[in-house]
Every structure is written in C-alpha cells, then in structure tokens.
Amino acid sequence: MIVKSLFLDNFRNHRDTKIDFSDRFNIIYGNNGQGKTNILEAIYLCASGRSHRTSKDNELVMFNSDYFNINTQVFNNGLERNINIKYLNNQKRQIKINEIPIKKIGSLMGNLYAVLFSPEDLSIIKQGPGERRRFVDITLSQIKPTYFYNLQSLSKILKQRNILLKNLYSKSELVDTIDIWNYKLAEVAANIIIERRKFSEALSEFAQNQHKYISNNSEIITFNYECNFNYQNSDNKTEIMNIYLKLLEKSLNRDISLGYTSIGPHRDDYDILINNKSLKLYGSQGQQRSSVLSIKIAEIELINKETGQYPILLLDDVMSELDENRQKYLMESIKYVQTFITCTNDSKFKNILNNSARYFLIESGSVINCFENEHLH
C-alpha cells in the first residue's frame, strides 16, 4: 500500500499543494501552524472517510473559500487508484474512485489502509468509552466494510427507536411497534458484537508480542472487549440476539422514562490492562505512552494479517513524545511500512533513516523545499 502523490486545493491552509511522496519515509517538517498536520489529515480522510480532528466538512475549507478538493494517487496490491474528495457550499461531499462516483462512503473503505498515531491517542486510555469505541470502529471499518455498514445501521435504528420511546411516554398505544425496532436492533448489534470481540482478541495478541520488547518482558498488556451486557461470550448470532431481545424487553419501562436506549453496543467499552491492572487508573505516563505505541504497531500488524497488505502510517508529531529507545523500536517495527512523519525539526532523522527518506519543508500551507536524504551530506 503506497500513496504516490497528493494534491490539495483550498484544504485548510493549503491553496494549491502538490506533493510526490517517497515509498518509504516522508518527513514533513516546519514550524507550528504551517500546515503539516493538514497533509496527514487529508490522507487519513481519503482512507477512512473522516477527519481525525473534526466531524464538520466546512471546517476543512480554506478561509474565504467555499470548497475544498483532495486528490490522491494510491498503489494498492499492484493496482493504481485515484481517490478524489470534493466539498462545495455545505453540500454533501462527493467521492470518486478512478473518476467513478461512489454512492456510499462504505465503498471508500479498503482502497487505502491507514494507521494514524498522534499525541491525542493517549485519549484511547485516558478518556471515556467513546474514544476507545472510535479507535476500534475506524480500524474495523477499514478492513471490514460490512462492519461499517452495520455501524451506520445501528445509528439509524437507535435514532428511530429513541424517537419511538419518547412518543411512548405519551402514546402508550404505540407499544406494539417496539418489537419491530427491537428485532432490527438486536440483529445489527449481534453482528457488531461478534466482530468487536474477534478484533479485540487479535489486537490483544499482537500488542502483547510488541509490548514484551518495549517493557523488557516486565509487562503484559491486554486489550479486552467489555460488552455493555452479558452475552455469555457467545459467537452465535442467534444466541446473542435472543439475550439482547430479552434485555430490551426488560428495560423497556426504564428506556421510556429515559427517552433513549440504555443497553447495547453503543455503550460498549474496552479495558486496557497492564499486568491485569487498569492502565487508565494505575498506569504511569510512561506506561501509557508505551502501551499506545504497542497498540498502534499491533494495529499495523492486524491490518496486514486481515488484508495481506501493510497500511500506511501517519505519525503526527509523536516522535518528540517518545524517548530514544522507543523511537528506535518504532523505526525498526515499521521498516516495511510507508511512513509520514510531521515534526518541527528534521535533524534527528537524518542519521536514523540514512538514504530512505524524502523531506518536505512546509511554510504557510506550501512546500517550499523538498530533498532526498542523500542530499544532506
């Protein structure tokens, strides 16, 4: 999986930026606020269909403009793909793959696999369940488009069921219609639960293999799926559906009172442990950083296992957060991965990467200098 080039037109502070990338390491450097992260954001948008910084497309448009246009050339499994994303005047964004418009964003998944690692990823550990669900959902959606469609269905069904719950508070005669939404919800929920459990088990195994090196065999990391209800660790869709349907029936009066669905995969969580202790509650800052590093490298390996291809890696200002040993370990772990690194100072990479990097100096949303590692000496 290789990104060959990127064109940005009125995206954030990039008015007219064209970049041809190295197949290995790409060092994007410059002072803060110049537009380095915007380049990674655009690539990530082409992979996952979403920005990691905002959910609003109009915030991606350059000031005093009314549109943005992203065009990226990707080599995927020997085939060339051109991914184009356009947005105009608060309209729904348009996505084309090889000039062919796609009707559903799920069709974008699988054309470009990407793993993003930024300082904000500590929120996977430090923040609430929503951050951990988001991390899992984005990765799973890339490698399993059907999972993405199930997530979309879950959101729509929950919205309709919650509307009905609010109406039931004053119109009890509508209660007979709740069974329809319960069944639809249970079917989609079972699909999501099965995939989340499989993903968590696989990620945990890969992360353990990575973390034993980082911790010198002193720590065991586990990434456990915590379903919102006891589904008895079943992998049988029908069994999970039946368990969930009974719980939905039992909680109906409470849900009517609350006005929303209180039980389900939209309230799932993941428990990250070090030596069987909560990393969030008991882990030091160093342990948390090391654990996120292990999880991100595990994410790369998991995508490769599931798809047969290594994803690209986007490192947004994380090298300064890692000590020298962790930096070296990260560089060794991603030797097969096309990598994009943003930083304020490129000098630390000149000896580490030898002749395998291309450097881009960014100022005010423009590439003002580009050179290969071999030109440094």
Known binding residues for ATP are 30-37
Whether 341 and 358 have beta carbons less than 8 Å apart is answered as no
| Token representation of residue 269 | 């969580």
Q: Which residue numbers belong to the known binding site?
A: 30-37
| Total Cβ atoms within 10 A of residue 20 | 14
Per-residue HEC secondary structure of 255-301 comes to HHHHCCCCCCHHHCEEEEEECCEEHHHHCCHHHHHHHHHHHHHHHHH
A 10 A CB-CB count for 85 gives: 21
DSSP string, 147-171: HHHHHHHHHHHHHHHHHHHHHHTT-
Task: Please provide the size of the chain in residues.
Answer: 377
User: For 191, how many CA atoms within 13 A lie in the half-sphere containing its CB?
Assistant: 17
Contact 18, 360 (CB under 8 A): no
